[in-house]
Amino acid sequence: MFSEIPSRMQAVVVHGPQDYRLEEVDVPSLGEGDLLMRVEAVGICASDLKCFHGAPKFWGDDNRPAWAQTGITPGHEFVGTVVAGDEAGLASHRVALGDRVVCEQIVPCEECRYCRRGQYWMCGPHDMFGFRNYNGAMAEYMLIPTKARVHPISKDLPAHHAAFAEPLSCALHAVERASISFDDVVVVAGCGPIGLGLVAGAKAKNPKLLIALDLDDAKLELGRRCGADVVINIGRQDAVAAVKDMTDGYGADVYLEGTGHPSAVGQGLNLLRKLGTYVEYSVFGSDVSVDWSIISDDKELDVLGAHLGPHCWPAAIKMLEEGRLPVADICTHQLPMAEFQKGLDLVADTGGSSIKVSILPHGAGASA
């Protein structure tokens, strides 16, 4: 069924900020209950880029310790084929050899307070593929440990489309946090991979009006195709004034932030109505300063965070399998693993044409 699994493989290895190298390493050895995946595609996330550039979130500063690890292989948005595993591993993950699967980013310990309460996505140790204690998918093969959360996905999807299940699940979790109602005016900041998922997820909640913001007209058009009723280019139009004009001066009910740019935070606080809801998904590369009196004394806002995509993977997979997003136009670039640095540079180029950049470790059209 499969070609012979080699003993060595190509993988990207983190040696520190701005020092990622393509190396030959051993194919992972499996323990009891583990699976071996032949990686088909791995997306490059904004958090991968910020980790590469040494953001304090990952590498620490005077106020926090380092969290990301050297010697690890990056990549947490991935899809692949199960090519090896014992009966216990296949049974516990409810998969068979040859199945195509995606995995949640976190590998929960199942023992800490959060895991025991069912809040696994906030696991205390917080081991994550590609960042901490488990190698990610910028490699030809990767180990799926016993405690990983695995989801089957259709083989009919192009691999780089299937890997989009990870950012889409994250966006859907942020939408769930917002508790959107039918009468809400919802604003989504950003039409990148997360933002477009936010738009699609918010549209599924059927709000009164859905507005998407970005600086790029092409991305705004994708936002419209994902479900936005109105799009605003914030480089040409004052978003705060425009939203207030559309809401009799009150402001939006819900603001979903998906850009990771500090200016989007103040923008959201200012365009929300009193008693509105702000949901923050992004990972920021630097500290953000705002006037907190807007949150408290001025508006009494509900400010919510969102992390990972808990309980949203089945919905994200269904949306992809049903073709409910223009994923062919969202997934703009697919590169061989030897060009991983070009992929990071494409994601860093905010004025470029990329939206979702993916690495195909075995090359386009390769089969297991």
pLDDT tens profile 9-44: 999 999 999 999 999 999 999 999 999 999 999 999
Average pLDDT over residues 330-353: 93
Structural domain boundaries, residue 347: 8-152+326-360
| Tokens of residue 304, six digits | 């919510």
Q: 14 and 147: one domain?
A: yes
Kindly tell me if the per-residue pLDDT of 270 is higher than 70. yes
Q: 284 and 191: one domain?
A: yes
Q: 12 and 141: one domain?
A: yes
pTM here is 0.95
Alpha helices in 123-261 (DSSP H): 159-162, 165-178, 193-204, 217-226, 239-246
| Tokens of residue 214, six digits | 């970005």
| Tokens of residue 141, six digits | 């093969």
Q: How far apart are the first and last CA of the chain?
A: 8
Q: Looking at residue 19, which CATH number applies to its domain?
A: 3.90.180.10
Identify whether 320 is part of a domain. Answer: no
Strand 230-233, strand 209-214: pairing: parallel
Q: 12 and 148: one domain?
A: yes
Domain count, the chain: 2
Q: 352 and 231: one domain?
A: no
- 355 burial type by CB count under 10 A (0-12 exposed, 13-18 middle, 19+ buried): buried
Identify whether 366 is part of a domain. Answer: no
CB 128 within 8 A of CB 107: yes
Q: pLDDT averaged over the chain?
A: 95
Kindly tell me if the per-residue pLDDT of 294 is higher than 90. yes
Q: 274 and 335: one domain?
A: no
Per-residue pLDDT of 208-256, as tens digits, reads 999 999 999 999 999 999 999 999 999 999 999 999 999 999 999 999 9
Identify whether 254 is part of a domain. Answer: yes
Per-residue pLDDT of 99-126, as tens digits, reads 999 999 999 999 999 999 999 999 999 9
Q: 58 and 92: one domain?
A: yes
Identify whether 318 is part of a domain. Answer: no
Q: 38 and 96: one domain?
A: yes
CA dihedral 252, 256, 260, 265 (to 10 degrees): 30
